[in-house]
Amino acid sequence: MTTYTKADRAPLTERQEARRRRILRATTQLAARGGYESVQMREVAELSEVALGTLYRYFPSKVHLLVATMYDQLDQLHAQLRRRPPRSANSRERVVDTLLRAFKGMQREPHLTEAMMRALQFADRSVGAEVDTVSRETTTMILEAISGDEPAAEPTAEDLAVIRVITHTWHSSLIAWLNGRASIAQVRTDIETVCRLIPED
Amino acid sequence: MTTYTKADRAPLTERQEARRRRILRATTQLAARGGYESVQMREVAELSEVALGTLYRYFPSKVHLLVATMYDQLDQLHAQLRRRPPRSANSRERVVDTLLRAFKGMQREPHLTEAMMRALQFADRSVGAEVDTVSRETTTMILEAISGDEPAAEPTAEDLAVIRVITHTWHSSLIAWLNGRASIAQVRTDIETVCRLIPED
DNA sequence: GCGTAATCTAGAACAAGTTTCAGTAACTGC
DNA sequence: GCAGTTACTGAAACTTGTTCTAGATTACGC
């Protein structure tokens, strides 16, 4: 069993780590207030007390910054899920529970969610690595929900395909809700619908 | 049965209609050449021989412009599908065929696809109406594939949920491919996987 | 501690989306 | 066919993401 370490990055000095945290905190704060367009690079720099150039050295674009923020938030969610994992009897239910719980959290900070999701969807090739990181973390979370207490078998290609489809639905559906094109009930329905792809156990 | 008319817009004079066409053509051209970032509003204006202000009168933002382009392309695809509809025996297969055929078309113009898809995913509330239009058209296409030659029954809420999930997967999967994060085979797999939600008939 | 290289700062400069405005052209109702 | 309104043009201005520069600061090997 591997330990879950932070994503590998070039090693940072303490002050650098602190700067990085300040930047992410400022981003979260601004995003929570007004969503994607309220995250303005100059404001992030000012609020985190860092020069604009430095901000760009840490995160090479606004999208990188927001995807990193997403990873950060996802990490917190993941930790929370490990503390109190869903307790339903079958894997399908556990996945639905997991996603609905995540959704509930996101409803509490719709602007923040919007900012992160927009960035994630808008990301192009240059953000590939970071998006993959988020994607892997999401996959892990769903896999853990599927396995429950069990030893967590190696996922098959089929499993991974299903998880990809679930993730796709999860993201698009969330965006539709954030844009007022889908109701909360619809998001829930979509999640339940797509989770029917998980074989009963 | 309702006739399939063009999306309703304020009535335009002939020259206005011509301007609109020129703009969309220019957009398609630029997008096909270099994708989302090559569609620059000043260039679109110049290429379509229209003042920048006029461009903005017709399409209030770059995203509006690209979503309108998407609708336009979708319309052509739809017409083509009506001429030569998929002939498979069951609805599930027909939907898979439809989406794979669309995918094949998109592989021919990856930059154009990228531009339209990025815009569609990035669109916020202000583009809600236009995105809905695209969404309805897509839904119609999938519904027609499901019904085949049959009279096309009124879709149930369940049908619509499945179609939403399919559409979500379709879009996200395409984006992942365009960004080099998924292979063509993966897109195909994802489509086949999500289509298992369509009940056998 | 000292010299050197990497990092950080403040601020200007640049790029592309969007807005604005004064003047001209095209349509509409009569 | 004309008056009045609406639409179009060309150009400048404004906004925000991104890049660049010169000088100050910090980290690091010795």
Residue-wise pLDDT tens digits, A126-172: 999 999 999 999 999 999 999 888 777 788 999 999 999 999 999 99
Q: A14-34 and A110-122 are packed helices; what angle lies between their axes, rounded to 10 degrees?
A: 110
Nucleotide nearest to B57 (CA to C1'): D7
Contact status, residue A72 vs residue A24, Cβ threshold 8 Å = yes
Cα separation of A70 and B137, whole Å? 32
Statement: the CB of B84 is under 7 Å from strand C: no
Q: Structure pTM? A: 0.90
Residue scoring higher pLDDT (A2 or A181): A181
pLDDT given at position A4: 35
pLDDT given at position A1: 36
What positions of strand C are covered by protein, i.e. any atom < 7 Å from a CB? 7-12, 16-22, 26-28
pLDDT given at position B42: 97
| Contacts across the A-B interface (CB distance below 8 Å) | 96
Residue numbers 4-33 of B with CB closer than 7 A to any atom of strand C: 13-15
List chain A residues with CB under 8 Å of B180: 125, 128
pLDDT given at position B1: 32
Shortest alpha-carbon distance between residue B9 and chain A (Å): 21
pLDDT given at position A8: 58
CB contact under 8 A, B190 and A165: yes
Q: Measure A26 CA to D27 C1' (Å).
A: 26
Which ranges constitute the DSSP H helices of chain B?
A: 14-34, 41-47, 52-58, 62-83, 91-108, 110-122, 128-147, 157-178, 184-195
pLDDT given at position A53: 96
Interface of A with B (CB under 8 A): 36, 118, 121-125, 128, 131-132, 135, 161-162, 164-165, 167-169, 171-173, 175-176, 179-182, 186, 189-190, 193-194, 196-197
* pLDDT string in tens for chain B (201-residue length): 333 344 556 667 888 899 999 999 999 999 999 999 999 999 999 999 999 999 999 999 999 999 999 999 999 999 999 999 998 989 999 999 999 999 999 999 999 999 999 999 999 999 999 999 999 999 999 999 998 887 777 889 999 999 999 999 999 999 999 999 999 999 999 999 999 999 987
Statement: the CB of A180 is under 7 Å from strand C: no
List chain B residues with CB under 8 Å of A62: none
List chain B residues with CB under 8 Å of A172: 121, 167-169, 171-172
Chain segment B15-35, per-residue pLDDT in tens? 889 999 999 999 999 999 999
Statement: the CB of A46 is under 7 Å from strand C: no
pLDDT of residue A7 exceeding 60, the answer is: no
pLDDT given at position A2: 33
Structure tokens belonging to residue A91: 């894997």
pLDDT given at position B8: 59
Provide the percentage of residues in chain A whose pLDDT is more than 90.
85
Cα separation of A60 and B142, whole Å? 40
- Tell me the average pLDDT across A16-26: 95
pLDDT given at position A201: 77
Contact status, residue B118 vs residue A124, Cβ threshold 8 Å = yes
Residue scoring higher pLDDT (A89 or A56): A56
Tokens 């030659």 appear where?
B149
What positions of strand D are covered by protein, i.e. any atom < 7 Å from a CB? 7-12, 16-22, 26-28
- Tell me the average pLDDT across A99-127: 95
